[in-house]
Amino acid sequence: MENVKRFDGKIAIVTGAGSGIGLATATQLIAGGARVVGADMSKDRLTAAAESLGKDFIPIAVDISAHDGPARVAAAASGPYDILINNAGIMDGFVPLTELEDATWEKVLSINATSMMRLTRQVLPGMIKAGHGAIVNLSSEASLRAICAGIAYSVSKHMVNGITKHIAAVYTQDGIRCNAVAPGGVSTNVGGEFLSDLSKERIAPVMSATFRGHMATPQQIADLICFLADDKAASNVNGAIIPCDNGWSVM
Ligand SMILES: NC(=O)c1ccc[n+]([C@@H]2O[C@H](COP(=O)([O-])OP(=O)(O)OC[C@H]3O[C@@H](n4cnc5c(N)ncnc54)[C@H](O)[C@@H]3O)[C@@H](O)[C@H]2O)c1
């Protein structure tokens, strides 16, 4: 039993696996013994990830918000999948309601929330049939309060929390656990520029007064994601939205 790793024999999907939190999570899952389907829309990032992660990383270049995106991700390996990490997401430039364009709203909600629902709908029946599955969704501090993003991102992450709670409540009796991680600031490529003067004036000062400059590493977020993905360590954790922000949410 000595060399048994916590994810030995498991097969996982990680979306947005080419960068930041997704790449750190795929790295930890593979180090723990899993095979990982890594989905990302950036071919270059996937190529670099595949070179460093080796044969247990199965790259799939795909836009998860495309009509056939979720089906292509699910078909990249033969399931049923044990673990689904719904991680891919984009920011919204901190644009407030009065400056919001429909295209921004539709794109952010489509990638951050609708794609999560559609990919999970694709993967969940296999998990239910197998009698187990661990799903971890990437939420955000912006799902807990209103001062961390623009309206589209904030609403999309509130939707993530709703998706998470629904799955946890309805499918717990099928052996499914679904939890969400709500990071504060993390050093990644997601981009945090303010495209709005109103937000610079009204959001930025509140953020800097409470945030105190603590940027997490992607590995710190991946540590929590992998804890939640571990059926042994987190066997009784289901439907939780867990901040991972060094206390920012209570400031
Ligand atoms: N970085 C932060 O401060 C922070 C804070 C809270 C929550 N989050 C969330 O963490 C998650 C991961 O973000 P990150 O910070 O690692 O960002 P990142 O930009 O470093 O990585 C995200 C990856 O997702 C990919 N991606 C984006 N849209 C895609 C699509 N439609 N189809 C396929 N791939 C797509 C990108 O190519 C990129 O490689 C996101 O859901 C983000 O909202 C990040």
Instruction: Give the pLDDT confidence of 72-93 residue by residue, as tens digits.
Output: 999 999 989 999 999 999 999 9
pLDDT of residue 208: 87
4: left (phi > 0), else alpha (psi -120 to 50), else beta? beta
pLDDT greater at residue 63 or residue 212: 63
The answer to whether residue 1 scores a pLDDT higher than 60 is: no
Cβ of 224 below 6 Å from ligand 1 = no
- Confidence class for position 144, pLDDT limits 50, 70, 90: very high
> Amino acid identity, residue 232?
K
pTM (2 decimals)?
Answer: 0.98
With a 6 Å cutoff on the Cβ, whether 190 touches ligand 1 is: yes
Output the CA 90–ligand 1 centroid distance in Å.
5
Residue nearest atom 9 in ligand 1 by C-alpha distance:
138
Q: Is the pLDDT of residue 29 over 90?
A: yes
Residue among 5, 43, 55, 157 flagged as catalytic: 157
Q: All domains of the chain, ordered by start, with CATH?
A: 11-245 (3.40.50.720)
pLDDT class of 213 with cuts at 50, 70, 90: low
Pocket test for ligand 1, best of 13, 40, 108, 246 (most atoms within 8 A of CB): 40
pLDDT(134) > 60? yes
Q: Is 61 in the pocket of ligand 1 (CB under 6 A)?
A: no
